[in-house]
């Protein structure tokens, strides 16, 4: 693992809930652990083959000075998202924003917020059995692409399939998509539920007809089993409408 460590980068800016914090500058200090493969830079002694820490710090400065946020959590996320957008070499990032002069009526050294992100490949199954099915799938992919921290990399052909589960009456239109994301699995799930709702999804009958259904099939090498999410998807092996489109865009997957 190759990590570029940046410590104690300080900017004076206006971030905070209080009105005076929005006009009176105070220090914000950044620490970052930037994971990137810079073997090529070491081998060739070439700056372009690594993450330029000077450019990285300029990005932090631009985001910090160019905005006014209520929360350091928001500032940390904005900087982290921008880092992944502007530095494609980054595979993972841990970024901390410290606020040493936070207005607290007690003695303290500093308060801070840390964001940890990692690029992951995620495989999704999308389906629709109501209305203009193709339009719903097209819209879902557009909304995924427009979601910050998500990039749609590959989409299978759309296929018409029989309903599954015994409750739906209409034929489905299905596809699979490969996306790259820096969101956590549950954050991605929240965005998927938002997109489904924006496309008119109503969760009133299990297995019933629906305008849009998006399932997370694989999320990197993650294994998750909680009350909200199971990854790999628990039932995908029984669903040809998932496996066939998925194999067409990811033949390397072993299932």
User: What is the model's pLDDT at position 166?
Assistant: 57
Same domain as 128, residue 61: no
- Examine the domain organization and report whether 129 and 166 are in the same domain: yes
Rounded to two decimals, what is the model's pTM? 0.91
What pLDDT band is residue 255 in, cutting at 50, 70 and 90?
Answer: confident
pLDDT at 17: 97
Hey, what's the torsion of the CAs at 240, 241, 244, 247, to 10 degrees?
Answer: -110
- Indicate which residues carry an active-site annotation: 201, 210, 213, 215
Structure tokens at 14: 């206006």
- The predicted-structure confidence for 52-82, as pLDDT tens digits, reads as follows 999 999 999 999 999 999 999 999 999 999 9
Do 114 and 127 belong together in one domain?
Answer: no
> What is the residue-averaged pLDDT of the chain?
94
Are residues 91 and 153 both part of a single domain? no
- Residue 45: C-alpha distances to residues 39, 41, 42, 49, 91 (Å): 9, 5, 5, 8, 21
Q: Residue 9 belongs to a domain with what CATH number?
A: 3.30.1130.10
pLDDT digits (tens, 9 = 90+) for 120-155: 999 999 999 999 999 999 999 999 999 999 999 999
Closest residue by Cα to residue 239 from 167, 155, 154, 174: 174
The reply to whether 114 falls in a domain is yes
Whether the ω angle into residue 38 lies within 30 degrees of 0, i.e. cis, is no
* pLDDT at 184 (0 to 100): 97
Regarding whether 10 and 100 lie in a shared domain, the answer is yes
Do 140 and 185 sit in the same domain of this protein? yes
Report if residue 255 sits inside a domain: no
Q: Please, where are the H alpha helices in 113-217?
A: 133-146, 185-198
Q: Could you read off the pLDDT of 19-35 as tens digits, one per residue?
A: 999 999 999 999 999 99
Pick from 94, 118, 142: which residue ends a domain? 118
Instruction: Say if residue 133 is in the same domain as residue 114.
Output: no
Percent of the chain scoring above 90 in pLDDT: 84
Alpha helices in the chain (DSSP H): 39-44, 53-65, 72-86, 133-146, 185-198, 240-249
pLDDT attached to residue 205: 62
For residue 25, the enclosing domain spans 3-118
- Whether residues 238 and 210 share a domain: the answer is yes
Q: Is residue 26 domain-shared with residue 111, that is, in the same domain?
A: yes
Residue 141 in contact with residue 152, Cβ under 8 Å?
Answer: yes
Whether 18 maps to a domain, the answer reads yes
* Domain stop point among 66, 88, 118: 118
Which CATH number characterizes residue 180's domain?
3.30.70.560
Q: Same structural domain for residues 167 and 92?
A: no
Structural domain includes residue 208 = yes
pLDDT top residue among 253 and 67: 67
Which backbone phi and psi does 119 adopt, to 5 degrees? -70, 130
CA distance 86 to 88: 6
Burial, 84: exposed, middle or buried (Cβ in 10 Å; 0-12, 13-18, 19+)? buried
Cα distance between residue 93 and residue 108, in whole Å: 27
Quick one: pLDDT band at residue 113, thresholds 50, 70, 90? Answer: very high
In whole angstroms, how far apart are CA 140 and each of 130, 212, 252?
14, 8, 25
**Last-in-domain residue among 118, 141, 174:** 118
CA-based nearest residue to 79, from 146, 15, 143, 141 = 15
pLDDT at 154: 98
How many structural domains does the chain have? 2
Asked if the structure places residue 254 within a domain, the reply is no
139 and 238 belong to one structural domain: yes
d(CA 134, CA 137): 5
208 and 106 part of one domain: no
């Amino acid at each position: 693992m190759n990590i570029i460590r940046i410590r104690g980068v300080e900017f004076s800016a206006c971030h905070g809930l209080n009105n005076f914090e929005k006009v009176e500058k105070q220090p914000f200090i950044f620490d970052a652990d930037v994971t990137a493969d810079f073997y090529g830079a070491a081998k060739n002694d070439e700056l372009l083959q690594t993450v330029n820490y000077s450019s990285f710090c300029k990005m932090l400065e631009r985001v910090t000075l160019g905005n006014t946020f209520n929360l350091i959590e928001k500032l940390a996320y904005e900087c982290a998202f921008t880092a992944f957008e502007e530095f494609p070499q980054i595979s993972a990032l841990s970024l901390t924003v410290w606020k040493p002069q936070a207005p607290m009526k007690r003695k303290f050294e500093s308060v801070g917020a840390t964001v940890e992100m990692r690029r992951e490949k995620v495989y999704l199954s999308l389906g629709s059995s109501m209305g203009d099915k193709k339009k719903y799938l097209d819209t879902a992919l557009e909304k995924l692409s427009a979601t910050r921290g998500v990039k749609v990399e590959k989409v299978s052909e759309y296929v018409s399939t029989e309903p599954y589960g015994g409750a739906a009456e209409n034929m489905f239109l299905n596809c699979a998509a490969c996306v790259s994301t820096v969101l956590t699995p549950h954050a991605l799930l929240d965005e998927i539920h938002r997109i489904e709702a924006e496309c008119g999804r109503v969760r009133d009958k299990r297995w019933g007809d629906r305008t849009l259904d998006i399932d997370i099939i694989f999320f990197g090498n993650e294994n998750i089993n909680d009350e909200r999410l199971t990854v790999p998807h628990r039932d995908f092996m029984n669903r040809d409408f998932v496996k066939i489109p998925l194999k067409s865009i990811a033949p390397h997957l072993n299932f």
